[in-house]
Chains A and B, each alone.
Chain A
Amino acid sequence: MEAILAELVAKYNYWIYVVLMMIGFYAMIGKRNLVKKLLGMNIFQTAIILFFISTGVKRGGAIPILDKHEVLLHGINPATIDNPLPHVLMLTAIVVSVSVTGVALAILIRIYRRYGTLEEDEILEKIGK
């Protein structure tokens, strides 16, 4: 028990991302309402974004804004500064996720206009008729 707890605490960021990801995955696969599916997709994407961000953090790391002259004179110790690259990558991933959500919402509006509902079962029933 102690060992498991220690493991959980030491890598809590990864556990949070796994749990979030599973919640999102469940909503995408298990829910029958299309908006809930979309929300699940957003949770799923957010989990991955948090995972990336947490990999850049270092214990006691400072923000990566440096004085150019200072760095040129003395160099830097990378262990004291957080890695900014995952954050930059995630900016792009956030843009992608926003675009996908936008397209999905637009398509949901078209589905709602056509079938008058966003419940998958009811839509399939209407198509079956």
Chain B
Amino acid sequence: MIKQNLHMFVMAAPLLCAFAVNLLGRLSRAWVAPLVLGALGFSTYGAIFVLQEVLTNGSFRYVVGNWTAPYGIELVLDPLSAMMLLLVSTVAFLASISALKSVSQELPGREHFFFTLFLILIAGLNGLVMTADAFNLYVLLEITSITTYGLIGMGSGRAPLSSFNYIIMGSIGACFYLLGVGYLYILTGSLNMADISTILGGLQGGNVATATAFAFLMVGLWVKMAFFPLHGWLPNAYSHAPSGAGVMIAPLMTKVTVYLMIRVMFSIFSPEFEFVRHAGVQNLIVWVSAIAIICASLLAFSQRDLKRMLTYIIVAEVGYMVGGVWLANTTGLSGAILHIVNDALMTLCLFLAASAIAYRTGGLSFEHLRGLYRKMPVTMAAFTIGAFAMIGVPPTCGFFSKWYLILGGAEAGHWEFVAALVLSSLVNAILFFRIIEIAFYPTEESHGHGHHEQEKVKVQEAPLMLLNPLVITAVLLIVVGLSSGTIVNDVIRVVLPDLF
């Protein structure tokens, strides 16, 4: 009984605790930390069992509230969605530890509001990765978006303005998605993904309407994931968000949306529809992603602030994944799915490091980074591992997914995509080595005063609550990198026959 419903508990735990945090947090702020960590710890622990269950006993479908499939809401748990569930819970758990500390510094007295939104966001993301219903997906997408607007809007300075721009762009994206669902509903009379897919397969005519629906769904999701020409809202929103919100939103939101794109492409439509019938569109999108990668990398190059630079790298990484999916071969798609996992962890690592640095130095522009290797050796060591993963240095996970993507690009003959990937890796290398160089050498003043002053630089490490998740994530980057083979063979390849 419990075993069958475990994934529901994984989703419900943060949702229920969100209300408890809000109510009990008003009485005493001391309630916030145990409730948040308890809920997310439970979710992570449960997600491990869900993944284990799915891997041993095969994927299954779950009907919520016993309303049978095409009418009620159905959840699908295959290895892919179970893996995403684990990824979301793990990242959320690690991010929440760091957020608890940084929020108490940045938003003192408002922790309970912050973590109410934070937990609802995680519940929404957990729901998103499991749902098999097109309209339910829209509702959960908006739950995650609305909580994100709120979390970003809590920041100081320009944050409310960035959040408002995000609201406008995010709503356009969600409305386009809803329109696409409307067209599909008119065509098929169903909202269940599997059901729509069966009905579309036997449909006579209605080609233009199906293509229109597909275009609306894709454009909607691309706006939400900040695919390059539609990325305008992301850098401001993510860099002005409070650090506690950034460590959660930046690794997960875009990655989960890429996963949703994969779901929509292969659960509602078929590879034959996208890659054979509309081969021209497929070529075009790979080209656009190549351009996206190059432009976003160059934009990252012109930033003088660590967090802003990272946001542009996220935009480039979205290009990697969209391009990888649209390469239309198994290698490219495996690479894209593996990159969802890796990129979530790499972004988490870098944002946790940024959060720890901001906690101690009060800022993230490059001037603040001087001499950090002496001041915060552990943080910077973890940051370096994250940077190496972003560049794609072998033992870290970033290398393996990039390798699959490059192989996929070569296999499909899309050399422009391969070139963009290599160029972007080079740009990343320059970007991060520039930062490492700045951080390695001591501050200007002490440099002027000679050798004597340098000895005095004290180690001022970030507090343990910021440091622990960072170190764990850095270790995870290498562990996931070394077990890439297992992930690809046991999880991703198992799902692919359904997709191709």
Chain A interface residues toward B at CB < 8 A: 25, 28, 34, 37-38, 41, 44-45, 48, 51-52, 55, 86, 89, 92-93, 96, 99-100, 103-104, 106-108, 110-111, 114, 123, 127
Complex CA–CA separation, A127 to B135 (angstroms): 40
Interface assignment of B472: CB less than 8 Å from any CB of chain A:
no
* B185 and A48 contact, CB distance less than 8 A: no
Structural contact, A45 and B182, CB atoms closer than 8 A: no
Contact, CB under 8 Å: B185 / A86: yes
Contact between A107 and B153 (Cβ–Cβ < 8 Å)?
yes
* Nearest B-chain residue to A127, judged by Cβ: B158
| CB neighbours of A103 from chain B (8 A) | 146, 149-150, 153, 167
Q: Is the CB of B172 within 8 A of A107?
A: no
Q: Does B164 contact A (CB under 8 A)?
A: yes
Q: How far is the CB of A60 from chain B (nearest CB, A)?
A: 19
Bound together, the chains give a CA A79 to CA B138 distance in angstroms of 29
What residues of chain B lie closer than 8 Å to A51, measured between beta carbons?
179, 182
- In Å, the complex CA distance between A123 and B161 comes to 9
Q: Which residues of B contact A114 (CB under 8 A)?
A: 160
Residue of A nearest to B174 (CB): A96
Given A51-B179, A103-B149, A106-B153: A45 in contact with B171 (beta carbons within 8 A):
yes
Q: Which B residues touch A89, using CB under 8 A?
A: 135, 185, 191
Among A28, A107, A111, A127, find the residue whose CB has the most chain B CB atoms closer than 10 A.
Answer: A107
In B155-179, the 8 Å CB interface with A consists of 158, 160-161, 163-164, 167-168, 171-172, 174-175, 178-179
User: A92 to chain B: which residues have CB within 8 Å?
Assistant: 135, 139
B163 A107 Cβ-Cβ under 8 A? yes
Whether A104 and B158, one on each chain, are in contact in the complex, defined by CB atoms closer than 8 angstroms, is no
18 residue pairs A–B, Cβ–Cβ below 8 Å:
A28-B172, A41-B171, A48-B178, A86-B185, A89-B135, A92-B135, A92-B139, A96-B138, A96-B142, A99-B142, A99-B146, A103-B150, A103-B153, A106-B153, A107-B160, A107-B164, A108-B164, A114-B160
* Complex CA–CA separation, A103 to B142 (angstroms): 12
The residue in chain A whose Cβ has the minimal distance to the Cβ of B135 is A89
> B164 contacts A100, CB within 8 Å?
no
Q: A48-B175, A123-B161 are in contact. Are A100 and B167 (CB under 8 A)?
A: yes
- Rounded to whole angstroms, the CA-CA distance of A104 and B146 in the bound complex is 9
Q: Is the interface of A mostly helix, strand, loop or mixed?
A: helix
Provided the pairs A89-B135, A96-B142, A103-B146 are in contact, do residues A37 and B168 lie with their beta carbons within 8 angstroms? Answer: yes
B175 and A45 contacting across the interface, CB-CB below 8 Å: yes
**CB-defined contacts of B171 to chain A, threshold 8 Å:** 41, 44-45, 100
Chain A residues with Cβ below 8 Å from B174 are: 96
Contact B164 A34 (CB under 8 A): yes
Structural contact, A96 and B185, CB atoms closer than 8 A:
no
B1 touches A (CB below 8 Å): no
How many Å from the CB of A79 to the closest CB on chain B? 13
Q: Among A52, A107, A111, A123, point to the contact of B149 (Cβ < 8 A).
A: A107
Given A96-B139, A96-B142, is A55 in contact with B185 using a C-beta cutoff of 8 Å? yes
Given A44-B171, A51-B182, verify A100-B146 contact (CB < 8 Å). yes
Residues of chain A with a CB closer than 8 A to B163's CB: 107
Q: Does B186 contact A (CB under 8 A)?
A: yes
Chain B residues within 8 Å of A123, by CB:
161
Given contacts A55-B182, A93-B178, are A100 and B142 in contact (CB under 8 A)?
yes
| Cross-chain contact A52 with B182 (CB below 8 angstroms) | yes
| A82 to B178 Cα, complex, angstroms | 21
Q: Is the CB of B168 within 8 A of A41?
A: yes
Which residues in A have their C-beta under 8 angstroms from that of B150?
A: 103
By a CB distance below 8 angstroms, the chain B residues around A107 are: 149, 153, 160, 163-164, 167
Question: In the bound complex, what is the Cα–Cα distance between A88 and B3 (angstroms)?
Answer: 33
Residues of A within 8 A of B149 (CB): 100, 103-104, 107
- B-chain residues with CB within 8 Å of residue A127 when the two chains form the complex: 158, 161
Among all A-B residue pairs, the 9 with the closest Cβ atoms: A110-B160, A96-B142, A107-B153, A111-B160, A107-B160, A104-B167, A103-B149, A41-B171, A107-B164
Residues on the B chain within 8 Å of A55, using CB = 182, 185-186
Given A55-B185, A96-B139, A106-B153, A111:B164 Cβ within 8 A: yes
The reply to whether A44 and B172 contact each other, CB–CB distance below 8 Å, is yes
Task: Give every chain B residue within 8 A of A99 (Cβ-Cβ).
Answer: 142, 146
Question: A residues within 8 A CB of B161?
Answer: 111, 123, 127
Complex-state Cα separation, A45 to B163, whole angstroms: 19
B217 to chain A, nearest CB (A): 14
* Cβ contacts under 8 Å, A104 to chain B: 149, 164, 167
User: What residues of chain A lie closer than 8 Å to B172, measured between beta carbons?
Assistant: 25, 28, 41, 44
Residue of A nearest to B186 (CB): A55
Q: A21–B277 Cα gap in the complex (Å)?
A: 30
Query: Are A28 and B168 within 8 A (Cβ)?
Result: yes
Q: How far is B175's CA from A45's CA once the two chains are assembled, in angstroms? A: 7
| Contact string against A for B residues 169-201, beta-carbon threshold 8 Å, 1 for contact and 0 otherwise | 001101100110010011000010000000000
Q: How far is the CA of A129 from the CA of B179 in the complex (A)?
A: 42
Task: List the B residue with the shortest CB-CB distance to A86.
Answer: B185
Which residues in A have their C-beta under 8 angstroms from that of B158? Answer: 127
Task: Give the complex CA separation of A48 and B176 in angstroms.
Answer: 9
Give the chain A neighbours of B135 by CB distance below 8 A: 89, 92
Query: How far, in Å, is A102 (CB) from chain B's closest CB?
Result: 9
